[in-house]
């Protein structure tokens, strides 16, 4: 599916009375999801368990790191 096709599909899913802000937001979300999928395919991810452990250590226990 081309970018143009994805935009058309998005516009078809949005209500007729949507604002330009609504369109921009949904385009942003589509782009963010596509970037995330590309990162995942390229192996540029951090396992959930690692993130949870780092957040727990930093925020819940008050340790700087």
pLDDT, tens digit only, all 65 positions of the chain: 899 999 999 999 999 999 999 999 999 999 999 999 999 999 999 999 999 999 999 888 775 55
What span, in angstroms and rounded, lies between the C-alpha atoms of 65 and 63?
6
pLDDT value of residue 63? 59
**Burial degree of 7 (CB within 10 A; 0-12, 13-18, 19+):** middle
Domain enclosing residue 17, as ranges? 3-60
The answer to the question of residue 39 being in a domain is yes
Question: How many domains, the chain?
Answer: 1
Residue 65 within any structural domain of the chain: no
């Amino acid at each position: 599916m081309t970018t143009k096709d994805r935009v058309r599909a998005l516009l078809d899913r949005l209500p007729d009375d949507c604002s330009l802000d609504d369109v921009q937001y949904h385009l942003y979300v589509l782009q963010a999801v596509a970037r995330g999928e590309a990162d995942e395919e390229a192996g540029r991810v951090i396992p959930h368990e690692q993130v949870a452990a780092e957040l727990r250590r930093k925020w819940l226990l008050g340790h700087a790191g």
